[in-house]
Structure 1
Amino acid sequence: MDGFKKRLNESVQFKLSFTLSLVILVIAILAGSFSFVSAFDEAHELQDDMLRQVAALFDRQHLPLSHLGDDGRARDSDEESRVVVQYLYDGSKAAATGNIGAPLLLPPTLPDGLHTLDVSGEPFRVLVKTTSDNERIAVAQEAGVRNDIARASALRTLMPLLILVPILLLIVADLVRKLFLPIASLSAEIDGRSEQELHPVEDRYLPAEVRPFVVAINRLLVRVEQSMETQRRFVADAAHELRSPLTALSLQAERLAQAEMSDLAHERLITLRRGIERGRNLLDQLLTLAKAQTVSTVPKAPISVQHIFRRVLEDILPLAEARQIDIGVDGEQDAALWVSEADLIAVIKNLVDNAIRYTQDGGTVDLSVTTKDGQAIVRIQDSGPGISVAEQQRVFDPFYRTPGSDQAGSGLGLAIVKAITDRIGAKIALALTDEASHSGLRVQVSVSLARPSHQGSARTRNAPPLPQDTESV
């Protein structure tokens, strides 16, 4: 009962359906009761009229009662609708006329008119009438039979109402549900948006009562978009402004390295230059993250994943060579994706860069792309320590780094990847490469295909061949 009250208070749709159904039921009960009583009384009145017509027929036609059976009714007549007709005499006159064996023992002093009497323990409806021959006749019918006939007639009157009310309740419930469908569709549309999709909500097909609420939501979305844009512009401007002094510091450090100094000073200068370089990398990552959170332009043509692999490997090979990491593309299958080239490069480059940095020297990093159910599945997997299941969701947070990590970095790489994949409608999933040893990381990015993928040498742009799992690239 508490759950019902809670749902009734929380759901406008349920409350409206319940209220309308309750009103319909109350009105149907009142109308049905009135109809039943009216039909019941009318059936009794019709039966009384029938008794009057029978009496009038005997009076006008001067019909004798000798044609009736011993029980006062016509032979082979219906038991349930029998009407008893008999003379009404006092005792002496009844003996003189030979009517002592009358079907019903009625008091001879009954006045003319309708009466309800108990005869031998059974109720009867009796009409007493004095004929034109000054003879008194009684026309009677069992009250139980009359009530059964009246009740059946009243129930037949109620039958359309009993059939139509449940149908009406179903129609009302379905109608209310359909009236709330635009609101449910609006809720699903808003719930399915990413945090970057702040365009106004369409209110053209919504009811007038809901439209002010949607207008308020649209105004809020505009304010949120302005606030986010201000924040992104601040981050981008701050990062851009900080690049100049860091560049100047880097140049000064280079000039200082050319001067004569002690070994201790030279060691501290190297540490300073590394710190400056980390600062510059952090600013570059912040700029990339700010760009990733903005809405990109719609690409004019699909881009080849294999082409992006080449571009990324050309940039990342020096780092892999320094670590003696076997890096290459597994397979020759290609896929054409309708996404921005800059976005796809940023995603794959950050993933490959992370894989190389967190893989031990002499490890392996494999890139591959497959297609399934209209999706291109890009995989980057390595032989590094991997990421535990408990940490796999937190690593997408900006500046978050897994505990115990000793690699230099800003903690923004996966945050940039997540921002871009959310914006382009892609899905990213992390898993361990080797479940048995709980090692290695496999990153899988699923993107909708622009067109069916091609096998073999299907490429959209010309580029030098890729290394195919070469040893110690």
Structure 2
Amino acid sequence: MPERRSAARRPARPSLRRRLLTFLLVPVLGVLVLDAVIGYFVALAYSNRVHDADLSDSALTLSEMIGSDALRGELTAQARFLLEYDPDGRNYYAVVSDRHGRMIGNAELEGPGAAVVTDAAPKLYDTALGHRPLRAAIMRVPNHQDPGDVLTITVAENLRDRHTRAREILFLTLPMQALLIVAVLSLVWFGVRHGLGVLEPLTARLGKRGHDLGPIGEEDVPVEILPLTRTIDDLFARMRNMLGLQERFIADAAHQLRTPLAGIQLHVERLEATNDPVQRVDALGHVHRLAARAARTSAQLLALTRTQSPDLPDHDGMAIVDLASVVPEAVAMRVHQALTLGVDLGYEGDDTPCLVRADALQVQEVIDNLVDNAFHYAGRGHAVTVSLRHDEGEVVLAVEDDGPGVDDAFLDQLGERFFRVPGGDEDGTGLGLAIVESIAERHAARVAFLHAASGGLRVELHFPAVASGKPAETTS
């Protein structure tokens, strides 16, 4: 029961069709309601025009009646009924003489507040009788019974009939508008449903891909969802990169760890097969060296994979680092090891800031790998020097040794994965300089393998210098 209640409270899944229909139908319904309102006011304007014409005709008719000799200024009962008749109430009229005052009428009607020209067409205006709004027509004509006198004739009616006619016109058009609403809603529904059908071929094609992480392509992708498919293609590219790194790491680990693990197994079998103390010590020594080699290979494989991870920031996203502060600290951390190995480790550089965009931890890893490489191949009794200098818009970090060096034929191959100089120490993994190359590429830096002046190997990293900026704090 609790699971059912939680499922009932779960929000509905977003629907593109429902969203499109909402954004289309609500405005359409609003427009149709507005059309009905406008239609009513148009009908009211038409009704007002017709009634205003009738009102003007009534004023003209009354003026003719007043001017008739037969009437002598009086209205018959039939004429009065025709003027006053209104199904919803009464109509009003008044005839006022300039000389004699009010002559006939059934109400005191106010004038328009502006002069009315004699013998002109009736003038229409809005007025009121008490709290009842009226529409009136007024005109001035000469009094033929009394030369020199002018009569003001006013005829008025209430507004009920006008609104009644407007509503009747609106109700006559409502069925047509209702039919229009149904037709529009049906067309919108059909249009949305048919329009979303263009996604079906793309959906079917993606459903058949299986584990394929290739680009979706754009041949059957609507323009409106191209940004989405391009984003998915970018995601697929990152996933392919990650899977490629994973597969490469597994293959490299299997290849590089096979030899030391096989050697460990062989020497363990020697231990089990002999009781000779000398052979047992020799076997244990081999096991120790092979285990250390396997551990170092694993660590460097992981380090190389980390440097190629797409999750790391690119060069433009890195903080500003002062290498004049980072490099001496990294060198100082290796002094004790250098003394143990009998290597003369030194640093050359001044206090001038060397600002670059970099990851301080990766810079330290570069120095560690270059120093380890120099320690390993130079050997006891030799010197290793780390230097830092400015050179034409670049900051150059260099590590050199006075060891046996590398032949020209092999300089271009340094930095390749698992490459070891022929005739060198087989305990190396061939990954240290590859890690340096990978980190340099992420930092937009250039790596150069050169002969040192003392005959050994010199490795230079050329970082683009930063003109100014506040260096980020670094932690050791």
TM-score range, shorter chain: 0.3 to 0.5
Determine which structure has more spread, i.e. the larger CA radius of gyration: 2
Structure 2-normalised TM-score?
A: 0.43
Structure 1-normalised TM-score?
A: 0.43
